[in-house]
A and B are shown apart, each in its own frame.
Chain A
């Protein structure tokens, strides 16, 4: 030890620095243990970390709006909702083109469902519009083809857009044609040289020609010049009115505001919804009182989970103590009884609870027979919060008993004896000496029970009625019924954060090293 003081780094036998040698030896050891756990690690990565990560990502992800309506959302940037006016004709033209592609790709209904979570009615608005959008701009198609039948010819079109000068002269037409050809190739496997372009292409052509000067078009086929001369006299279509004719909601500022608000690729809208607020153009506001539910449910979930945890402690502690102190044979038998709930199916348990707890059930029959309550005033023990607490306490009791038992098993009986020999009464010996040593078991059991009960949703659904359901029931509903996975993910993330927060608080108050699952 002394030579570290006077010389430089200590050297190993082979002359390398001792530290480096040690590190190398340790690294090899670490590599080996890494390889030992690799199968589990990979398993967890694929079955747990990645899916949960994806799920959490959904709580902010919102690309569907800008994916399905790329130009519309871009054009909508400059729209000011506060004017109370629907967006300009340019926006409706962009909407026509975006919708045409979306309908072909069958994406518009998905977008409709997505936006319907925010504003009721958008689902059917998009579905209805989808059926009629291919008529939009037909008036231009008819006028172009009336002017010159060449405009009907797919080959003429394909050649026109391939010309090097077309890009500068007819930018919108080219973009619309590209959407058209890409879509029919990918969706239907058709050849653009055999299909007449969509009305949106003619609409774009009309827009381009109206804006262009004759000089710009000089390098293009003569038909273009002729058409350009004619468009000034074309009958026009007010697209805004046309959409409004399909559904009056297209003139509603609220609908456009929703599209505008949810244009960005990422949104905090789901999180706002999760705390009973809603996203508005400039910030957020509380939802109407009759729609507020999530905060209530979060609070209820936490309070009821704590109640369940406390009931489990009260019921489980004596049982665990008995288990830890009885002779092995009796204890094993008792342990089987404790574990029995694990072995029965949920269906059996549910029926058992109903038979026991319902108003015409066994418990009520007994208390009525004993004269404790009147026959017409039977206790409500199920389909309410009481039912949830009873059933969940029953299910989760083993999760409290097992860690308590294994911790109590490690508390030697001599401690209590020592306390008694020192003059403590039975109660003092228990409270001052035995109980503090079983606290790690209570901690572990409580964390287990609390976290499990926060996540339970089947049991509350079955026995909880209306007042005994948890936030997890809403998460399950949004996952499997409403398909609002973004909201479910946001609710789940908040729940996760709350659990982490409680865990942190527990660590600060009790200390996490004070948690033991056993010896």
Chain B
């Protein structure tokens, strides 16, 4: 077998395409390369191709075109059971007719491991997820969180270098999810394993991953660490998909270096950084995060462009205030402000002016 991949890349997708019906591509020209030990999340709406990519990596789907490499070796034609990839499934897929210990022992048995060695590994894996006391139980006798821990232990017990997780926390309540998110990332880093994690929950993606690949329409829209993804979305889809976002539509009037001026459809003028607009006259969607909007003129630059706004709704949310405004003829402009002692509480009907730092306002593709 030849080593054709990039040096240091552990998992690689090269020009991978997938079609189920021969007419539509579910995955279009996917290129991805991740180093050993990375925790990478594939994030995207359903039908975006993320799960298909995971299944191709696991070997349950074959790529229509392109090559998938693991540790430099093409695995396109290796059947799933020989790939040695651990996997955690959406509904845990714990074998209901086996006890917890038997579930964990299964991958070791098929690897023809001796009994004592098996028992030792099983107990160690159960120890990693603090489930030693449940070895004799059946999966149906466990709670969802416990089942998830067992599924994780089972995927790890045969010490794979790569572990795939397909929306593993989807069925759990919020609090449990947060605990487990923390545990999974900890465990992954502790063991030094490479993880490909699929989810449609952006918070999960942002909190857990080293890098996030945002999928849409069969393509990776952006592949970046969480902070970059949030603060510097490369296109309007990513901007919309990650976090809450205000969008204003308009036309580029002027580009000066790393700032530009956009004329909104109602004629107002605002400042923005051109991200993927290139020419004057181009239509654009301008994206501003709600927490970066200011209505206190004192905090804005003197020459900043401001917009008139009318307060429509004020929602008290504990740690923050969420205010809905009418801006540039649109009723769904949202601003968030921290609940601080000196914070102004806006009143519906109030007329204000809002503005922002030009670098917080990104002119993206229309």
Contact = CB atoms under 8 A, between A and B. Distances in A.
Given A419-B106, A432-B106, A424 B81 contact: yes
A426 B154 CA distance: 19
A281 B44 CA distance: 89
A513 to B, nearest CB: 12
A423 B96 contact: no
Contacts of A428: 110
A421 interface: yes
Interface stretch (A42-50, A210-218, A409-417): A409-417
Given A423-B107, A425-B110, A437 B96 contact: yes
Given A417-B58, A417-B60, A418-B87, A423 B158 contact: yes
Interface residues on chain A, size class: 10 to 19
Contacts of A300: none
Contacts of B85: 421
Nearest to B107: A422
B81 A425 contact: yes
A426 B110 CA distance: 11
Contacts of A422: 81, 86-87, 106-107, 110, 154-155, 158
A418 B93 contact: yes
Nearest to A414: B93
Contacts of B96: 437
B90 interface: yes
A420 interface: yes
B157 to A, nearest CB: 9
A423 B89 contact: no
A433 interface: yes
The CB with the most chain A CB atoms within 10 A, among B59, B87, B111, is that of B87
The CB with the most chain B CB atoms within 10 A, among A412, A418, A422, is that of A422
A210 to B, nearest CB: 87
A418 B158 CA distance: 13
B118 to A, nearest CB: 13
B179 to A, nearest CB: 24
A421 B91 contact: no
A418 B103 CA distance: 11
A433 B93 CA distance: 11
B225 interface: no
Given A421-B58, A425-B110, A415 B81 contact: no
Interface in A423-439: 423-426, 428-429, 432-433, 436-437
Interface string B129-158: 000000000000000000000000011001
Interface string B51-63: 0000000111000
Interface in B8-60: 58-60
Interface in B293-338: none
Given A418-B89, A421-B81, A421-B87, A437 B110 contact: no
A431 to B, nearest CB: 11
Chain B interface, >50% SS class: loop
Nearest to A434: B95
Contacts of B155: 421-422
Interface in B67-108: 79-87, 89-91, 93, 95-97, 106-107
Contacts of B89: 414, 417-418
A424 B110 contact: yes
A421 B86 contact: yes
B95 A433 contact: yes
A326 B59 CA distance: 20
A417 B110 contact: no
Given A414-B89, A425-B110, A432-B106, A420 B97 contact: no
Nearest to A428: B110
Contact of A423 (B81, B91, B97): B81
Contact of B93 (A412, A425, A432): A412
B80 A420 contact: yes
B209 to A, nearest CB: 21
A420 B83 CA distance: 9
B106 A415 contact: no
A436 B97 contact: yes
A414 B79 CA distance: 16
Contacts of A432: 106
Interface string A233-270: 00000000000000000000000000000000000000
A423 B60 CA distance: 13
B80 A417 contact: yes
A162 B287 CA distance: 122
A437 B110 CA distance: 19
A425 B107 CA distance: 11
Contacts of B86: 421-422
Given A417-B60, A437-B97, A423 B90 contact: no
A27 to B, nearest CB: 33
A423 B84 contact: yes
B330 to A, nearest CB: 44
Contacts of B58: 417, 421
Nearest to B84: A423
B103 to A, nearest CB: 9
A423 B155 CA distance: 11
A197 B30 CA distance: 114
Contact of A421 (B80, B90, B95, B97): B80
Nearest to B96: A437
B111 A423 contact: yes
Contacts of B82: 423
A414 B90 contact: yes
A415 B95 CA distance: 7
A423 B110 contact: yes
Nearest to B106: A422
B221 to A, nearest CB: 28
Nearest to A421: B87
A433 B95 CA distance: 7
A425 B81 CA distance: 6
Contacts of A426: 81
Nearest to B164: A421
Contacts of A419: 95, 106
Contacts of A417: 58, 60, 80, 87, 89, 93
A349 to B, nearest CB: 38
B133 to A, nearest CB: 23
Given A417-B60, A417-B80, A418-B87, A424 B106 contact: yes
A433 B110 CA distance: 12
The CB with the most chain B CB atoms within 10 A, among A421, A423, A424, A429, is that of A421
A429 B60 CA distance: 14
A415 B164 CA distance: 15
Nearest to B82: A423
A419 B97 CA distance: 13
Contacts of A414: 89-91, 93
A413 B164 CA distance: 17
30 contacts: A412-B91, A412-B93, A415-B93, A415-B95, A417-B58, A417-B87, A417-B89, A418-B87, A418-B89, A418-B93, A419-B106, A420-B59, A420-B80, A420-B81, A421-B83, A422-B107, A422-B154, A422-B158, A423-B81, A423-B107, A423-B111, A423-B158, A424-B107, A424-B110, A428-B110, A429-B81, A433-B95, A436-B95, A436-B97, A437-B95
The 3 tightest CB contacts between A and B, nearest first, are A422-B107, A418-B93, A421-B87
Interface of A: 412, 414-415, 417-426, 428-429, 432-433, 436-437
Given A415-B93, A419-B95, A432-B106, 4 more contacts: A414-B90, A420-B81, A421-B81, A425-B110
